[in-house]
Amino acid sequence: MSEGLERPEMLVQAVIHNVDISDEVNRNYRTIRKRGFKRRNKVLTKQEGSLRRQFPGLAMAIIGTQASRLARDMPLAGSASSTIPKLVYGTAWKKERTAELVYAALKAGFRGVDTAAQPKHYDERGVGEGVRRAVSEGIIKREDLFIQTKFTSPAGQNHITPYDLDAPLADKVRQSVQSSLENFTFDGQEPYLDSLVLHSPMSTIANTWTVWKTLESYTPHRIRHLGISNTTLSILDALYARASLKPAVVQNRFYDQTDYEEAMRAYCRDKGIVFQSFWTLSSNKMLVRSEPVAAVAQKAGVDAVAAYYSLVLGLESLTILDGTTDPAHMASDLEGIEKVGLWAEGDGAADWDQALSTFKAMIGDI
């Protein structure tokens, strides 16, 4: 093994000081994979244990990052270098705990956060506070983090809004974006957002288009990517056909009432759009208790939630919003997906294929 892999503290320093050791890590992963999953798991478990004791939450951020295809970040359309993590930390309804939980999520290994300029359900300022704390402590650099927020129409707001309710629509958008940029300002850096999502289509196509064109004016520097949430396929298709900057993400519910968005996900795959699923866990308790989930959990040695998330990610071209408030679950979700991915690429390949096939049939995937 290389010196870096034998001494976990050197890996931590490499990340903190932005030293590229990815090739070295990947060479060792490939070597261990040839010896079989059990041997590989034994070696990495020892190293991860040392990392967890010294730096809670950094084991996944350093040792396990990007090793398996299942856990690997996804590229975003419109930029050769932009990626989005498979699990993005969801911050809705965290209220006064927002900053604390965002910090805990980043410490646990999350590298993406989702919020909104919608005080009714989100504390965007608190998200920024949690991120700044993590950055100031050297847990993460801003450039290694995916920050996504949303513009929410007046219909989705209460009496507290990030814009003047009497302003023209385009001005509302500009005021909301400016508020978001201020919430994610870091010392010595010009603020930017990795993704800004239209929280839902406006009441008319004309107004939806006004919002989109206004957001386009901030790209590619202040806003890197645009997306839309709570949309229908027909609206998405119309927007895609007309927009200069195509949607990079679509964030919709993943549950049986929408047939798990099978048609929408197929469209997104065809267009190179990342589908972001929400309500993935809370609205699918029956799926979490299903036979393929139990099989993956038992054979890969992970809990049911990690096994379920892994199968959802196995549908491909999607990411999951994970809003757990338990730091232990934050870590186990990230580590569990990586563990399933390694198992699926090794000794568990046949069992994984069978479980994924059964899972797809359950949700009507073709």
pLDDT tens-digit readout, 190-246: 999 999 999 999 999 999 999 999 999 999 999 999 999 999 999 999 999 999 999
- Per-residue tokens: 365: 């995937």
Match domain 74-363 to its CATH number in 2.40.40.20, 3.20.20.100, 3.30.1550.10, 3.20.20.140. Answer: 3.20.20.100
What pLDDT sits at residue 47?
A: 52
pLDDT confidence bin for 156, thresholds 50/70/90: very high
In the chain, ranges of CATH 3.20.20.100 domains:
74-363
Task: Give the model confidence (pLDDT) of 314-346 as tens digits.
Answer: 999 999 999 999 999 999 999 999 999 999 999
Q: pLDDT: is 164 or 22 the higher one?
A: 164
SS3 state at 204: coil
- Give me the pLDDT at residue 66, please: 53
- Per-residue pLDDT of 38-56, as tens digits, reads 444 444 444 554 554 455 4
Q: Could you check whether the bond before residue 8 is cis, i.e. omega within 30 degrees of 0?
A: no
The two tokens of residue 196 are 């800004």
- Give the total residue count for the chain: 366
Question: Which residue has 């890969």 as its token pair?
Answer: 300
Q: Quote the CA–CA distance of 91 and 41 in Å, as a whole number.
A: 32
Q: Would you give the DSSP letter of residue 156?
A: G
Residue 62 has pLDDT above 50, yes or no: no
